[in-house]
Amino acid sequence: MADPERGGRVETPSPSSLTIPLLEDEAAKGPKAPDGGISWLSVFNLANAAIGAGVLAFPYAFREAGVFGGLAATFIIAIIEISALCVLTRSAQRFSAPSYQELVYTALGQRVSNLVSSFMWIYLFGSCVAYLIIIGDVFQPAAQTLFGASHFLAQRWVVLSLFAVLVVLPLCLKRTLRSLGVVSSIAPTTLIYLAIAILLYGARRVVVTGGIPDDVVLFGTFTGYCKAAPIVVFAFQCHIQCMPIFSELVHHYTKGVNPLDAEKWSVVRRQIIVSMDKVILLALGTCLVGYSLVGAFGYIAIPDVQSDVLSSFGEDNLVMYVARVGMGLVAIVSYPINHFPARLIEMSVLNFFWPLPNPYDPKRYMLRFNILTVAYVAVTLAVAIAVQDLGQVYMVIGSTGGVLVIFIMPGILLLDAAGMLPSRRRTLVSRPWVTSEAEGSDTTERAKPEVESGQSSRRVSESGILVVEGRSEYEEASARGEGSPSIQTIPSPHFTSIPHVGQRPSEESDEAESDYTYLGKSQRSLAALWAFLMIFMGGLIFGVTVWIVVVKRGGMASF
């Protein structure tokens, strides 16, 4: 994708084309305004993205931080991560970015985007490998019980291969996350079941002992908090997956809405943000309650709990065996949700080096789509078969990538919205304005979107953004003042078209300024303070992880 600072320009097409064909919602039946309501499919998808193997380590985290200390840490970290998600969704709407990497590119440029995308892909790849390992650990014992320990179908690599090819791959071949809405309800259901089961075990011990047992710590040590914090942080991680979920929500609810109707667009945009805020609060609120119950009562039930709470109950516990199977199903559904943004990164890289002749040709697009999906599943399967314990390396990679995505980048984006970052000038050319001066009319009409023959070259990114390099005859005519559309040059990379369609923004007005930065002047100081807090939190988590792994040499055993 061309960098506008080097002479290129970015032109954004209609809102629907931002997500076609990748996020095309085949199940949509027509235009429908969100009206500030709740998209339950989005709630399930976002909750499923957050719920993973991390919940099984929560009792151990509470063992290190104490019951009350663990509850406080979980609540504080959840609030910060919820705010980070709200920042990401507002920034995504502000820049019309359908993916995390597209958002970073648009807001901060190509170099930062490349760095973040690399960490994102490594993090997502490692997560998918971990989910396959969980699938093998859960379903191989069942295969051994069914066929016998020495049977061919009971071998770990066979079980993993069958699940990867017959179950995981078909889910990954779906073109939209909305199609996973039904199966993704497994994750919150499993979390509720696990929380209730562990709650009963913990409550029974409280009743027997007549209160909190003496061997249960209420507040842990500093080292204990350092060990617990990364577990809590990454258990809530759904920030990468949140972007395509939000993009699909936008695409679904803006179908049939005329982008030239400024009043309607403004209403729909506000309603979408309200709806997504409710999705975030419900999804992560469910996780917060479930994680807190699992952590507190799991620790009370078994004070010397292991890092995997289910293994602490033993293999012959039927109630926990059902929970183990449920976590296996969660891993199956979580794999495609984590694979989805990873594939976006791969498509972006391929389109940069080997662009499709016609990016809107569905046959060529789907061929590349399917090849990348099959290759990704095959490689993660091979790694999961070869490596059964990701160990210390995976913890370091996950911590660095996760911290960057969860805390640091949202903090930087919030600083940008608060006007704290150096201004970079870009050219706003999406839907330029044509004024009919000859007739003395104040009416405006939409300029022709095509660039006529000249010295320009055009490419289309994987998200549908048209990148135009050089100057065309159309722009030369504009520079000569021959009635061509005027091109606005504005501070900061706010070249999205959706917020300004149908109205002529005034750069001097407060209203236009708030349009470009969704924050009022009175909110910016507080936003900047909160942004610095998120960045500090990310740096602290990274430093703590390095300290535990390298200095104390605790490795994964510490977790």
The Cα 375–Cα 321 span in angstroms is 33
Peptide bond into 21 cis (omega under 30): yes
Q: How confident is the model at residue 71 (pLDDT cuts 50, 70, 90)?
A: very high
Structure tokens at 427: 């050219």
Contact 177, 243 (CB under 8 A): no
User: CB–CB of 53/134 below 8 Å?
Assistant: yes
Mean per-residue pLDDT for 224-247?
82
Q: What are phi and psi of 405, to 5 degrees?
A: -80, -40
User: H/E element holding 251?
Assistant: helix 239-253
pLDDT value at 500 more than 70: no
Least confident of 283-292, 356-365, 417-426: 417-426
Q: Across residues 256-264, what is the average pLDDT?
A: 65
Q: Name the pLDDT band for 485 (thresholds 50, 70, 90).
A: very low
The rounded distance, in Å, linking the Cα atoms of 342 and 125 is 7
- As given in the structure block, the two tokens for residue 340 are 């989805």
Cα–Cα distance measured from residue 531 to residue 550, given in angstroms and rounded to the nearest whole number: 28
Phi and psi angles of residue 289, each rounded to the nearest 5 degrees, phi first: -65, -45
Task: Give the mean pLDDT of 234-254.
Answer: 81
What average pLDDT does the segment 354-358 reach?
80
Residue 139 pLDDT greater than 60, yes or no: yes
Three-state secondary-structure class, residue 5 = helix
Least confident of 367-376, 492-501, 523-532: 492-501
pTM: 0.68
Radius of gyration of the chain (CA): 25
Q: How far apart are CA 424 and CA 109, in angstroms?
A: 10
Tell me the average pLDDT of the chain: 72
The arrangement of strands across the sheet holding 425-435 comes to 444-446, 425-435, 486-491
Residue 505 has pLDDT above 80, yes or no: no
Looking at residue 162, its pLDDT comes to 93
Q: Which domains does the chain have, with CATH numbers?
A: 4-422+521-558 (1.20.1740)
Q: Decide if pLDDT at 470 tops 90.
A: no
270-293 confidence digits (pLDDT tens): 888 888 888 899 999 988 998 999
Residue 492 pLDDT greater than 70, yes or no: no
The predicted pLDDT at position 9 comes to 38
- % of the chain residues with pLDDT over 90: 11
Cα–Cα distances (Å) from 530 to 79, 166, 408, 533, in that order, read: 11, 46, 12, 5
pLDDT > 70? residue 428: no
Query: What contacts 151, CB < 8 A, 6 or more positions away?
Result: 143, 144
Question: What 3-state DSSP class applies to 26?
Answer: coil
440 pLDDT above the threshold of 70: no
Task: Report the amino acid identity of residue 357.
Answer: P
> What would the two tokens of residue 243 be?
């972007």
258 DSSP 8-state letter:
-
Report CA-CA distances (Å) from 166 to 159, 169, 172, 227.
11, 6, 11, 38
Q: At a CB cut-off of 8 Å and minimum separation 6, what does 529 contact?
A: none
φ, ψ of residue 165 to 5 degrees: the values are -80, -40
Contacting residues for 251 by C-beta, under 8 A, at least 6 apart: 15, 16, 18, 19, 23, 24, 25
Length of the chain: 559
- Is residue 503 predicted with pLDDT exceeding 50? no
Write out the two tokens for 525: 């100081």
* Greatest C-alpha distance within the chain: 89
Instruction: Give the rounded percent of residues in the chain with a pLDDT score beyond 70.
Output: 67
Backbone torsions φ then ψ of 308, nearest 5 degrees: -110, 105
| Backbone angle region of 97, left / alpha / beta, with phi > 0 → left and psi within -120 to 50 → alpha | beta
In this predicted structure, the answer to whether residue 263 has a pLDDT above a threshold of 80 is no
Among the ranges given (64-68, 116-120, 207-211, 478-482), the one the predictor scored with the smallest mean pLDDT: 478-482
List CB contacts of 176: < 8 A, sequence separation 6 or more: 23, 24, 25, 26, 248
| DSSP designation for 131 | H
Q: Does the pLDDT of residue 496 top 70, yes or no?
A: no
- For residue 101, give the H/E element and its range: helix 100-108
pLDDT at position 223 over 70: yes
Do 180 and 337 form a contact (C-beta atoms < 8 A)? yes
pLDDT digits (tens, 9 = 90+) for 161-191: 999 999 999 989 887 766 666 666 777 788 8
